[in-house]
């Protein structure tokens, strides 16, 4: 049976790596450090997936411009202190390896920095399975379609046979803006009610379900 998709573009945080809780906690600690009101968990989760500066500006639009660099520094202090301890979701190493062996081309589109993603790919051991990556400090941040369009161009892929897999509305909007199909996971940063309006092919509750869906349908 011919494959429906050739290129699978994965988000990283909240889709492959169980990092949403650490990101939220680091945002909250950073806000406390500089003496501004601490956002709720839901508020902080809503901006996960954006590039860091854009995320903080979206979360705290009334913060004086000069305070963002200090907030970024405090966020990085708290996040990087735990970065190497953050696990992949259960089944991710085996699932990614299997998808690569099945002949899919795998890529990553993430709000992480290039340095942050390189560190995560090395520590997780997954780097060899991804043909290309795009990060928020390389091009436009989500939900702009640039990450997807650049990956399609670099990998000489067909948009009609490209699928984005992500845990946030930013991922799904990026895919929609690029004119490609999308698959949503509910175990990351955003809840099903946030994801459903963006017309994913399916809403899946674990990476095991993602792997099974791709094996059966992609």
Task: Judge whether 83 counts as a catalytic residue.
Answer: no
Task: Judge whether 13 counts as a catalytic residue.
Answer: yes
Q: Decide: 67 and 189 in contact? Cβ < 8 Å.
A: no
Tell me how far apart the alpha carbons of residues 139 and 23 are, in angstroms, rounded to a whole number: 22
Of 6, 13, 98, 156, which residue is the catalytic one? 13
Cis peptide before 143 (omega within 30 of 0): yes
Structure tokens at 183: 């698959």
Q: Residue 198 — φ and ψ, nearest 5°?
A: -95, 20
Tell me how far apart the alpha carbons of residues 3 and 209 are, in angstroms, rounded to a whole number: 18
Of 6, 11, 137, 167, which residue is the catalytic one? 11
How far, CA to CA in Å, does 124 sit from each of 21, 50, 101? 18, 22, 18
Tell me how far apart the alpha carbons of residues 216 and 218 are, in angstroms, rounded to a whole number: 6
Q: Could you please report the per-residue DSSP string of 45-71?
A: HHTBTB-HHHHHHHH-TTS-GGGHHHH
- In the block, tokens 């899946």 appear at 204
Active site residues: 11, 13
């Amino acid at each position: 049976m011919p494959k429906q998709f050739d290129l699978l573009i994965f988000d990283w945080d909240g889709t492959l790596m169980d990092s949403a809780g650490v990101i939220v906690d680091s945002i909250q600690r950073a806000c406390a450090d500089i003496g501004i009101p601490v956002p709720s968990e839901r508020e902080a989760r809503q901006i996960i997936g954006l590039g860091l500066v854009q995320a903080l500006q979206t979360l705290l639009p009334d913060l004086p411009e000069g305070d963002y660099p200090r907030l970024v520094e405090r966020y990085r202090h708290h996040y990087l202190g735990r970065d190497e301890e953050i696990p992949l979701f259960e089944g991710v190493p085996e699932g990614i390896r299997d998808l690569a062996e099945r002949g899919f081309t795998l890529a990553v589109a993430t709000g992480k920095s290039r340095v942050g993603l390189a560190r995560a790919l090395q520590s997780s051991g997954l780097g060899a399975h991804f043909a290309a990556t795009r990060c928020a400090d390389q091009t436009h941040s989500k939900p702009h379609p640039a990450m997807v369009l650049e990956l399609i161009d670099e990998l000489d892929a067909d948009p009609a046979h490209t699928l984005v897999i992500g845990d946030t509305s930013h991922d799904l909007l990026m895919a929609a803006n690029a004119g490609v199909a999308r698959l949503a996971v509910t175990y990351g940063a955003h809840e099903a009610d946030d994801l459903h309006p963006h017309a994913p092919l399916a809403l899946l509750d674990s990476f095991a379900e993602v792997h099974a869906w791709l094996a059966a349908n992609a």
